[in-house]
């Protein structure tokens, strides 16, 4: 993984930091795994804007990712590591021995030509292999973790993310998540060994406003400069600071806990994430 700082030959490139794409091996995606990705522009079926600051952006096609890894015991060869415009992590194209192809989230260190497999027993805890938490040794770094068995990976999927197996007791495994939260997850849930690829993503710098527009994000208006009718932090003479930070509905930000005290999953959380 590496990043490149561009020479300032234009104003937009003066502060630009781009990905080196050392790990990416091809720029042509697998056609059979592409589907159209229609944009809504933040509008509902009546054409009314229901989400602010969404619109424009480059045309993309969605890559079908296998988050379930349910082809048990069938080895697959990594054919390529590819860029995916829909996520921060890189993806890997797998060729299974039965002829099927699929994309998975690529882990750091995954190489073209390497074999990966998913299964319940007898699978080695090596990078790219998927298995239940009950089969992974304590202390192992994992990613793409399920929250419920058979649901498919929902946690630790973005660039550079990882979780760690801390303990195991009964039918539950204790996991430390990327947010810092420690919680219990059923040991039957699947996870992939290794850290998610493209860990240098956090070092990238857009360099100009236009790049944010290419990503489909429109300019965001700060609440402090709005009128009182538009936001609780709006109004005031001159450059009024706006008082306590809060949402348009008046819910405080920065430290105010919005999680329900009676939420059913509270009993599975061993330690809350840090503020």
pLDDT score, position 2:
87
Judge whether 65 and 103 are in contact, CB under 8 Å. Answer: yes
Phi and psi of 250, rounded to 5°? Answer: 95, 5
Residue among 131, 134, 103, 107 at smallest CA distance from 117: 131
Residue among 51, 66, 139 at smallest CA distance from 106: 66
Joined together, the tokens standing for residue 157 give 């999927």
Sign of the C-alpha dihedral computed for residues 206, 274, 191 and 124 taken in this order: positive
Q: Alpha carbon of 173 to those of 17, 21, 151, 188: distances in Å?
A: 40, 35, 17, 9
Kindly give, in sequence order, each residue whose CB lies less than 8 Å from that of residue 112, ignoring residues fewer than 6 positions away: 25, 78, 79, 80, 81
Write out the chain's pLDDT in tens, 275 residues: 689 999 999 999 999 999 999 999 999 999 999 999 999 999 999 999 999 999 999 999 999 999 999 999 999 999 999 999 999 999 999 999 999 999 999 999 999 999 999 999 889 999 999 999 999 999 999 999 999 999 999 999 999 999 999 999 999 999 999 999 999 999 999 999 999 999 999 999 999 999 999 999 999 999 999 999 999 999 999 888 888 999 999 999 998 999 999 999 999 999 999 87
1's enclosing H/E stretch is none
172's enclosing H/E stretch is strand 172-176
Kindly give, in sequence order, each residue whose CB lies less than 8 Å from that of residue 47, ignoring residues fewer than 6 positions away: none
Domains in the chain: boundaries:
3-201, 227-267
pLDDT score, position 198:
95
Number of other residues whose CB lies within 10 A of the CB of residue 128: 24
3-class secondary structure for 67-129?
CCCCCECCCEEEEEEECCCCCCCCEEEEEECCCCEEEEECECCCCCCCEECECCCCCCCCCCC
Query: Residue 109 and residue 1: Cα distance in Å, rounded?
Result: 10
pLDDT score, position 240:
86
Give the CATH architecture of domain 227-267: Irregular (4.10)
DSSP-assigned beta bridge partners for residue 107: 196
Query: Residue 11 and residue 261: Cα distance in Å, rounded?
Result: 50
Judge whether 62 and 36 are in contact, CB under 8 Å. Answer: yes
For domain 3-201, the CATH superfamily is: Nucleic acid-binding proteins (2.40.50.140)
pLDDT score, position 242:
83
Query: Residue 25 and residue 112: Cα distance in Å, rounded?
Result: 8
pLDDT score, position 1:
63
């Amino acid at each position: 993984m590496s990043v490149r700082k561009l020479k300032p030959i234009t104003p937009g490139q003066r502060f630009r930091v781009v990905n080196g794409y050392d790990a990416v091996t091809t720029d042509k995606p697998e056609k059979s795994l592409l589907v159209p990705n229609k944009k809504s522009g933040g509008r509902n079926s009546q054409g009314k804007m229901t989400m602010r600051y969404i619109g424009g952006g480059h045309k993309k096609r969605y890559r079908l990712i296998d988050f379930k890894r349910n082809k048990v015991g069938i080895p697959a060869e990594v054919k390529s590591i590819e860029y995916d415009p829909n996520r921060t992590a890189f993806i890997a194209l797998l060729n299974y021995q039965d002829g099927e192809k699929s994309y998975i989230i690529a882990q750091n260190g995954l190489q073209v030509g390497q074999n990966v497999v998913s299964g319940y027993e007898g699978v080695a805890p090596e990078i790219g292999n998927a298995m239940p938490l009950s089969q992974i040794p304590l202390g192992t770094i994992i990613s793409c973790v399920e929250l419920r068995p058979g649901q498919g990976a929902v946690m630790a999927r973005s660039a550079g993310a990882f979780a760690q197996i801390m303990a195991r007791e009964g039918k539950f495994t204790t996991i430390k998540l990327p947010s810092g939260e420690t919680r219990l997850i059923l040991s039957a849930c699947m996870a992939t060994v290794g850290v998610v690829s493209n860990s240098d993503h956090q070092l990238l710098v857009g360099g100009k406003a236009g790049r944010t527009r290419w990503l489909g994000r429109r300019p965001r208006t700060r609440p402090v400069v709005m009128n009182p009718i538009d936001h609780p932090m709006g109004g005031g003479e001159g450059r009024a600071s706006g008082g306590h930070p809060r949402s348009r509905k008046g819910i405080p930000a920065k430290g105010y806990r919005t999680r329900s005290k009676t939420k059913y999953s509270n009993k599975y959380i061993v330690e809350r994430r840090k503020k």
